[in-house]
Amino acid sequence: MDTTKLLIVFVIMMILLWRKIPLVYVVIGASIVLAFLFGTDLTDFLKMVWDATKDPSTIEIEVILALIMILEQILRQQGYLERMLTALTRLIKDRRIVMAIIPAFIGLMPSAGGALFSAPLVEQAVGKSVSVANKTFINFYFRHVWEFFLPLYPGVLLVSNITGIPLTSVLLGLMPFGILVILLGLPFLFRIKVDEELAIDPQPLHTAVASQNGAMDTRRKLIKDVILSTLPVISLVSLVFAKVPITLAITIVIAVLVLRHRFNIREFLKIAYKALVIKTLIMIWGIMIFKQVMETVGSFDELPALLGNLPVPEFLIFAFIAFFISFMTGQTGTYIGIAFPIVVAASGGHINLPLVALVFMAGSAGTMLSPMHLCLSLTIDYFKSDLNQVLRMLVIPESILVGTAILSYIILS
């Protein structure tokens, strides 16, 4: 049975990841094993690899990540990030709040590399006074608090298009869960203890204050400094809200910064060389190969029929389909594109909002717990944290969210 083969590969992947084998080796190895379990010969497998490599979504993700790495390096080199953290930490005395605000702010940009952008800022905000597991959790978790609120995220747009439910209704139906997501993250945030003396090197703060002759002590000056230091990111978010493609938006911001700081070609190439992390780009390529193999061999084809024979309520089957697919792929678009058409077809085209919310939350939980999720893998890789420890933290809020969605469906349907 095809589903059994997929489950075998999945179990092997989890064992390897738990044994701390790098994700890039796991996904490439899993791609090879899965392909040959489905009778794929070498020629066809290489074709899958090529199809994944030249796929527009793969190229877009890689380009976005590379551009974000370059943008982050420019902002760091020119002191934007230091000035923002200096002002934020003087405006907001609790470094934990600053640590959550940063990924939430970057999360306004629904790009695959957002977590990579915010991770260095989280690191700089609290330094080594916070464990790598807590920094990973906060950076990853608060990066995703907006996907239930903003029509900027493609997930809610896809759900509206597939189900035929107006976008405003979908957003209103998901908004309570978005609020709950934020509330569930706060206990994890405020249980963290930050050593204020070790969080950020105090020297830049004193230097900045001295250079401003004490003017930075005023709230108005601090707010102004936050705005000016975050202006490149604010501009980027504004361009995305204006429906400028994310790749073009980042390119525009980088171009303006290059002109603003008068970089010549040699200086820019030096920045790009220092910024690009090839290992990360290869890891993303491996994930896209795994996704391509799963889609090509049809590993999900038998899943709906298999689950349909189980003695459980239909709505739980729909939720599990969404969770399983999203957990295996780590991609919102994939589970929405597979699970919601199944739900709509099984419901005779009459799908209500509580069921939409349940399937969406189950799929969201799957992506948040998936090692295949780009943001999670990037954050784990950056902080060099333990995947198992981070997953144990994530499973608590995600279980509560799915449980709440199930209760809401039972009560409201």
Question: In whole angstroms, what is the distance from residue 241 CA to residue 108 CA?
Answer: 9
So what's the pLDDT on residue 133?
93
So what's the pLDDT on residue 392?
94
So what's the pLDDT on residue 348?
64
Q: pTM for this one? A: 0.69
Contacts of 376 (CB under 8 A, 6+ apart): 115, 140, 330, 368, 370, 390
* 10-residue averages of pLDDT along the chain (413 residues): 71 74 80 86 90 86 82 83 74 85 77 74 84 94 85 74 82 91 94 68 45 56 80 81 81 93 91 85 80 75 63 86 84 75 71 92 93 86 90 95 95 87
So what's the pLDDT on residue 403?
96
Long-range contacts (CB closer than 8 Å, 24 or more residues apart) made by 312-321:
314/346, 315/355, 315/358, 315/406, 315/409, 315/413, 316/406, 318/342, 318/343, 318/346, 318/355, 318/358, 318/359, 318/362, 319/358, 319/359, 319/362, 319/402, 319/405, 319/406, 320/362
Amino acid occupying residue 339: A
So what's the pLDDT on residue 204?
47
State how far the alpha carbon of 115 is from the alpha carbons of 5, 121, 155, 291, in Å.
32, 10, 18, 21
So what's the pLDDT on residue 343?
80
Cβ atoms within 10 Å, residue 128: 11
The crossing angle, in degrees rounded to 10, of helices 387-412 and 314-329 is 150
Question: In whole angstroms, what is the distance from residue 34 CA to residue 161 CA?
Answer: 32
So what's the pLDDT on residue 269?
92
Cβ atoms within 10 Å, residue 313: 12
Amino acid occupying residue 143: R
